[in-house]
Structures are given as C-alpha cells and as structure tokens.
Amino acid sequence: MGESARQFVVYSMNLDSAEPLAMVLPIPVAAGSDEAAVRFINLKNYANFFEDLSSGFPVPTPRGGFGRSVAATAESVPLQVFQVGSFEASFVPTVGDFGRLDERFRLPNNAFEKLPGYKTFGFAVFKLKAGEQTVHPMAFEFPTASRTRLFFPTVHIHDGKVHDRAGFDHSLYCQSAPNLRLKVLTWRESPKPANKFMDVKKAEGIILSNEHCHRLELHGTLDNQDTFVEAA
C-alpha cells in the first residue's frame, strides 16, 4: 500500500498466443475515480523484477497469467492509450466506459454479467503482442476502495465465460507498509529485507527497502476469485 490509499500492482506472466491479446485486470478503485486516476509505471528496465523477488526465497517458483482477444462496438470519447515499455495500456474507470476503449482492447458488453461485484470496479487493460514471450512486469498504482487490505487480480476469464473453478499457476508477493500491516501468517516470509535481493532504485518506489517480502503460492484448480490480504 502506497501513500494516500493508493495501492501498487505489478503483474508478469508467460504467454504463448497466435494472435494479439488484451489482458483486463479489474481493480477496486475508490468511488468517483476518473480516467486519470491510475498511474502506469514503466518497469521495462527492470525486466527481472520477479526473478529478484523469487531469489529472496529458498525455492524459485513459476508464475501464471491470463488474457484473451476481445471486440465490441465504439461509442463516446475514446480513452487515452499509454505506451508503457513494450506494451500499450489504458484505464477504464467503470464497466460503462468499455465502449470508450480502443476497439482492439474491448470486452463484450456481457463479459461481467456473471461477476456483479465488478460493477464498482475500474479496469487496467494491457495490449499484448502475439507469440511466445515472457511479458516484462506491468505496473501501476491506483486509488483503492479497499484501504484496509491489499488486492490481487486473480479472477480468470479466458473464453468469455466465468467458471466457478479455474487452473492457477501463480506466485503472489506483498509487503507490509507503515500505513498497512498485513495479516500474512499463511504467507512465506523472506529471510532478509528487500534491499538484500531487490534493486530498489529500479523498482520505481514500489518496493519498501527495509521491509521483508511475503509470498503465497496458488497452484492447481481453485475457486475462481480475486485474492485479498487483510490488515493485521
């Protein structure tokens, strides 16, 4: 958790696709957040961000990811598209604003009908190229509606359908902060503080130098839902 109730999210994955994809990450933004509320952070120069994080723990772990190609019809004023390292990104403030998104990135209008909890969410959208690749870390900060817990976007929608269970291959990392101490009893703690294995300067303010990191593994078929870490 950053300052002024703004949470950082960093996401990376391995991808193999025959066509370009749009990856949509729902995020619990504070009420009234406009399209300028999310700040995208370029970590192209820190492509091994997660490799360094993993090195702080005894056993390296794989990371999962998801994405899908999308299409819809245009309406209203287009949302801004940002060039963030080697990919493009946009922030969609509400479900109703998807029609303003670059048409390459849009979800079908009914994509979230089975997930009514997202009616108050915003959406970080990333355009990914075709081919086999490890995407360099995608990072952003947003004004969170969940001031007393951290949020991880782990819901999967691969095929336009929402399944109750989904295959997970994720490693989640977090840090407690002075303004939010986390309940991480079931998470694995790094033996040393972050400055012993992370390049804090390259992390663009996302990593707290003197705090330890925590990791949670999510592998196998699990409930298809987002992940939260509550305050201690």
**CA pair distance 69, 127, nearest whole angstrom:** 9
**CA pair distance 200, 209, nearest whole angstrom:** 6
Q: What is the pLDDT of residue 2?
A: 94
User: Tokens at residue 219, please?
Assistant: 């592998």
Q: What is the pLDDT of residue 164?
A: 87
For residue range 198-216, list pLDDT tens digits in order. Answer: 999 999 999 999 999 999 9
Q: What is the pLDDT of residue 72?
A: 34
Is the pLDDT at 223 greater than 90? The verdict is: yes
User: Tokens at residue 158, please?
Assistant: 């691969």
Span 120-128, average pLDDT? 89
Q: Which of 16-20, 77-81, 119-123 has the lowest mean pLDDT?
A: 16-20
Helix (H, G, I), strand (E, B) or coil at 15: strand
Q: What is the pLDDT of residue 66?
A: 39
For residue range 46-68, list pLDDT tens digits in order. Answer: 999 999 999 999 764 444 443 33
- Listed in sequence order, the residues at least 6 apart from 208 whose beta carbon sits closer than 8 Å to its beta carbon are 175, 177, 194
**CA pair distance 28, 150, nearest whole angstrom:** 10
Query: Phi first, then psi: what are they for 192, rounded to 5°?
Result: -125, 160
List 16's β-bridge partners, or say none.
132
Span 23-39, average pLDDT? 92
For residue range 75-111, list pLDDT tens digits in order. Answer: 458 888 888 877 888 999 988 888 888 776 777 666 6
Strands 165-174 and 39-42: unpaired
For residue range 148-186, list pLDDT tens digits in order. Answer: 999 999 988 776 677 889 899 999 999 999 999 999 999
- Listed in sequence order, the residues at least 6 apart from 52 whose beta carbon sits closer than 8 Å to its beta carbon are 197, 198, 199
Is the pLDDT at 118 greater than 90? The verdict is: no
Is the pLDDT at 140 greater than 90? The verdict is: yes
More confident site: 136 or 48: 48
Considering only CA atoms, give the Rg of the chain.
Answer: 17
The two most distant CA atoms of the chain are separated, in Å, by 52
User: What are the boundaries of each domain within the chain?
Assistant: 3-230
**CA pair distance 121, 10, nearest whole angstrom:** 18
What's the half-sphere exposure (Cβ side, CA atoms, 13 Å) at 15?
26
Span 210-225, average pLDDT? 95
**CA pair distance 48, 12, nearest whole angstrom:** 10
